[in-house]
Amino acid sequence: MASESIPLSELLQCLVECSQKAARIAQIFRDENDLFQLLVEEKTEIEKNKRFVQDFKTLADVLVQETIKRDVGEQFPSLISNICGEEQNKFQNSLGESIVVELTESEEDTATLLNKVLDGRDHIAKSLASVVHSSEKTCVNQYSSPCLIPADNVGIWIDPIDSTAEYIEAKNEEKEALGIQQYGLKCVCVLIGAYEIHSGKPILGVVNQPFFKRKTDGSKWESKFYWAINYGPDCATSTTLQNESPQQEKVAVLSSSESKELQDIIASNYKIVHTAGAGYKSLLVACGMADLYILSQGTTYFWDTCGPHTLLSAQGGGMVRFDEAVSASHVRTHEDLLEKQVQYSSESVSAGNESFRNAGGIIAYRNPVDVIEVLDLLREKKYMCKK
């Protein structure tokens, strides 16, 4: 029997709408500061990202992920089994009760479920349930195309709230370098990526900043979303990506935890800016605010990179595996870089997060010339020989 085909433009529109709903959920939780403190749950040792001493998940994470799964599954039922995310759908409230977050078609059922987690805060439960079940379209049609893709060739990765630590700490003060926010709520992103199952290639990405700006301290947060498609003849990006102003000097964004050796080498050719969030760093490169995002450590996962990867590839860039690219002496051209791209799958979900870890690090780039230049620099300094 022939596989069902999905209109690519309709899938994009659905994921953009999902990202906007996710942003609203994230905003509601942050607006209730006293409530938010009750919703932070330390992750189990199995789920922890080893880079952090404490890694957290929140009900907001779980609710966003399950809402996206529900909405995509309602519009495209054939995709349900191929939607994966960072979080498990179990949560424990402040009374120690374990609750499984499963969304039905009933807004009342969702409110009742959330009320248990929220320890009786009925008005917040109802407010969240209203957003979860809203069918209101918030975005104009983003893209039109006759392109179809077989449903059995589409996988989706979700990071419901990337940069959870920044989300929890919620520092609002502006601390920028070259116009780049170094920490705080602006670094928080909702990441949704679709990939081609047969090839592992990312084909559609949506990145949403729920806390992009607010006019005054007391006003509501305004979100901003970015998207890209790179599938067959369809290659397009949102106007939000096209409207950003590129830097006038070479900039690389890194984590402050990178080794001094690596940072010193990069600093010989680039201005280094430390900032939070894998999704935010990749977004900075996609927007032209930075030339490279370099990460030598295996601390990102497919849910961190799948969405942003398409924003880069649709502009002629990409995301390569750091260790393989640096150690391969033959990487000299854009075609060579294409062989080292991160490839996506979800075949071993039951095996745990290690199956989806970018174990050798990553380099995100928009211009192939930049990444080839930095690879040559690292080899010249014999960086890998000292590892």
| 336 among annotated binding-site residues | no
Q: Give tens-digit pLDDT for 9-29.
A: 999 999 999 999 999 999 988
Catalytic residue among 159, 234, 291, 370: 159
Catalytic residue among 17, 196, 234, 304: 304
Closest residue by Cα to residue 258 from 270, 247, 242? 270
71 labelled catalytic: no
| 363 among annotated binding-site residues | no
pLDDT at 74 over 90: yes
Closest residue by Cα to residue 205 from 243, 147, 156? 156
pLDDT at 290 over 80: yes
Catalytic residue among 86, 166, 234, 370: 86
pLDDT at 178 over 90: no
| Beta-strand relationship, 180-181 and 176-177 | antiparallel
61 labelled catalytic: yes
266 labelled catalytic: no
| 159 among annotated binding-site residues | yes
162 labelled catalytic: yes
31 labelled catalytic: no
| 217 among annotated binding-site residues | no
Check if the beta carbon of residue 384 is closer than 8 Å to that of residue 265.
no
Residue 383 DSSP SS3: coil
Catalytic residue among 161, 168, 266, 372: 161
pLDDT > 90 fraction of the chain, expressed in percent and rounded: 64
Check if the beta carbon of residue 219 is closer than 8 Å to that of residue 133.
no
Confidence of residue 55 (pLDDT cuts 50, 70, 90): very low
Catalytic residue among 71, 162, 166, 196: 162
| 161 among annotated binding-site residues | yes
Q: Give tens-digit pLDDT for 107-122.
A: 999 999 988 878 788 8
Catalytic residue among 17, 61, 196, 234: 61
